[in-house]
């Protein structure tokens, strides 16, 4: 039996085989990427993500999310921007699912509300949303969607800072983030 520190137990045979297969597919995808065989890389990342599946384990969710993030990057290189955005959204969803599982486990144990693992996942979510914003803006010239992504980042940063007042903003590593006033958003668009 394999114990996932943040997701319970799994049978050792099926879990180990799936994880080993997923790792092999990920390595294959990386090799294809280095060889500029982008379609093959995308297929291999999809196989890896499928191996991780929708298991209850945090580790499997995070690994699958990483595959989807990579698939978004490969899709961008292929010029498939809508597909890239879809893959990034899927990665965000899986990172969020893993974060909620960690928070649930932490609260069940009676420990502090936010664990460092949940914070790391929040940072992965932020990076993924920022990647999506870049795709929207640079590849699709979609300013509205890019601004919406940045608003999602601000919302997450406010949540991380436990800020109740959206006008306050959030201070992260010495940088102050706040929502863009509606009139300024209109000027951008």
Residue-level length of the chain: 189
What DSSP designation does 177 have?
Answer: E
pTM of the model: 0.76
pLDDT tens, position by position, 84-138: 999 999 999 999 988 888 888 777 766 555 457 777 888 899 999 989 998 888 8
Cα dihedral 17→21→24→29 (10° resolution): -160
pLDDT band with cut points at 50, 70 and 90 for residue 46 = very high
Interatomic CA distance for residues 33 and 31, integer angstroms: 5
Alpha helices in 53-111 (DSSP H): 58-78, 81-109
Phi first, then psi: what are they for 56, rounded to 5°? -80, -5
pLDDT band with cut points at 50, 70 and 90 for residue 2 = very low
**Predicted pLDDT at 3:** 35
Other CB atoms within 10 Å distance of the CB of residue 87: 27
- Per the model's pLDDT, the better-predicted residue between 13 and 82 turns out to be 82
pLDDT band with cut points at 50, 70 and 90 for residue 8 = very low
**Predicted pLDDT at 164:** 54
**Predicted pLDDT at 135:** 87
| Section 31-56 average pLDDT | 91
Q: What is the 3-state secondary structure (H, E, C) of 114-143?
A: CCHHHHHHHHHHHHHHHHHHHHHHHHCCCH
Q: Are strands 2-4 and 175-177 parallel, antiparallel or unpaired?
A: unpaired
- Per the model's pLDDT, the better-predicted residue between 45 and 141 turns out to be 45
| Section 71-86 average pLDDT | 94
Nearest to 36, CA basis, from 79, 78, 80: 78
For residue 109, give both structure tokens: 């144990």
């Amino acid at each position: 039996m394999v114990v996932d520190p943040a997701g319970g137990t799994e049978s050792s045979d099926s879990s180990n085989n799936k994880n080993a297969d997923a790792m092999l597919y990920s390595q294959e995808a990386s090799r294809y990427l280095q060889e500029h065989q982008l379609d093959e890389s995308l297929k291999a990342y999809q196989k890896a993500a499928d191996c991780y599946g929708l298991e209850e384990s945090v580790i499997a969710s995070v690994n699958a999310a990483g595959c989807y993030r990579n698939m978004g990057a490969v899709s961008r290189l292929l010029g498939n921007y809508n597909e890239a955005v879809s893959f990034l959204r899927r990665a965000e969803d899986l990172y969020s699912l893993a974060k909620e599982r960690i928070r649930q486990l932490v609260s069940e144990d009676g420990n502090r509300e936010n664990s460092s693992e949940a914070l790391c996942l929040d940072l992965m979510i932020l990076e993924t949303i920022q990647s999506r914003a870049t795709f929207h803006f640079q590849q699709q010239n979609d300013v509205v969607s890019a601004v919406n992504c940045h608003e999602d980042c601000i919302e997450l940063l406010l949540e991380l800072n436990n800020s109740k007042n959206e006008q306050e903003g959030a201070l992260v590593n010495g940088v102050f983030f706040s929502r863009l006033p509606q009139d300024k958003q209109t000027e951008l668009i």
